[in-house]
A and B are shown apart, each in its own frame.
Chain A
Amino acid sequence: MDQVIFYGLALITIVGALATIFSRNAMYSVLALVVTFFAMSGLYLQLKAEFVAVVHIIVYAGAIMVLFLFVVMMLNLNTVSTIIRSNVNIKWIAVLAGIAMAGILGYGAYATTLPARGDNTAENGTVKILGKMLFNEYLLPFELTSVLLIATMVGVIVLTKKEE
């Protein structure tokens, strides 16, 4: 049963990713990516990483994709169709480069012996355990992310403000 769910989620993820990069309309790309992220969250749940699964839905499918959708709608790309022609060959070269990359990485993964399986029967992805880790061992990086976020916020506001 686990196996069937895994293959189903993996199939949805890959089809969503392909739809993201091959659909002509940017809006469909965004929606396909949302589907991909939901399937990926299911994979996290299968791995018993509940905290990461929930944060993934909130941050990616919630915040980031809404931002993308907002930008796509705001730019209204269907009316300003750009007429810049590019080399058609480059599209096939891109696909070939991707397949070559998959081959190289696959060979690398095949040639490497994966680490031995640890004790993974216990709960290790719950909010309780990760919260304790975040506020003990990883306290300084956790506080520094707040500096990063405030800097980003100020930067974006300054960047996109219209000049008088």
Chain B
Amino acid sequence: MEKSIFDTVPLEQFVILSLILFCIGMIGVLRRRNMIVVFMSIELMLNAVNLLAVAFSAHRGDPSGQVFVFFVMVVAAAEVALGLGILMMIYRNVKSVDINALKQLKW
């Protein structure tokens, strides 16, 4: 009989952990003005959701959730590559990575 993590750590604690991580990521997106850090906060939020998916998948004993997490990782990798490319272009044009520098569309 193999032991499972859920014998000692209930699923609720994984839910709470990923909830805290998601909210930290959200605070980072709202609070920081450096585009790179905002971007990293989005990664943090994605990872919180991944952790929740893997926890539920392990809890139910259903590997489909982990395949889904794999696809989320692929899309996140593509998103990061493209996002950092856009960031480089923004930096080249406005010479700043501050989100407040992008106010040409404001008025």
A residues near B (Cβ < 8 Å) are: 2-3, 6, 10, 13-14, 17-18, 20-21, 26, 29-30, 33, 36-37, 40, 43-44, 46-49, 51-52, 55-56, 59-60, 63-64, 67-68, 71-72, 74-75, 77, 80, 82, 84, 86, 90-91, 93-95, 97-99, 101-102, 105-106, 109, 114-115, 117-122, 124-125, 129-130, 133-134, 137-138, 141, 145, 148-149, 152-153, 155-156, 159-160
What residues of A have a CB within 8 angstroms of the CB of B8 in the complex?
Answer: 2-3, 6
Q: Which range contains the number of B residues in contact with the other chain?
A: 35 or more
Write the nearest CB–CB distance from A150 to chain B, whole angstroms: 10
CB pair A33 B44 closer than 8 Å: yes
CB pair A13 B1 closer than 8 Å: no
Q: Which of B53-105 contact A (CB under 8 A)?
A: 54-64, 66-67, 69-71, 73-78, 80-82, 84-89, 91, 95-98, 100-101
Write the nearest CB–CB distance from B39 to chain A, whole angstroms: 8
Q: A91-B31, A95-B31 are in contact. Are A48 and B89 (CB under 8 A)?
A: no
Q: Which of A63, A121, A137 contacts B4 (CB 8 A)?
A: A121
CB pair B76 A64 closer than 8 Å: yes
CB pair B20 A14 closer than 8 Å: yes
4 closest cross-chain pairs (CB), A and B: A21-B28, A98-B27, A94-B30, A94-B31
B residues near A (Cβ < 8 Å) are: 1-9, 11-17, 19-28, 30-34, 36-37, 39-41, 43-44, 47, 50-51, 54-64, 66-67, 69-71, 73-78, 80-82, 84-89, 91, 95-98, 100-101
CB pair B58 A48 closer than 8 Å: yes
Q: Complex: how many Å from CA A13 to CA B19?
A: 12
What residues of A have a CB within 8 angstroms of the CB of B77 in the complex?
Answer: 59, 63-64, 149
Q: Complex: how many Å from CA A3 to CA B43?
A: 27
CB pair B59 A102 closer than 8 Å: no
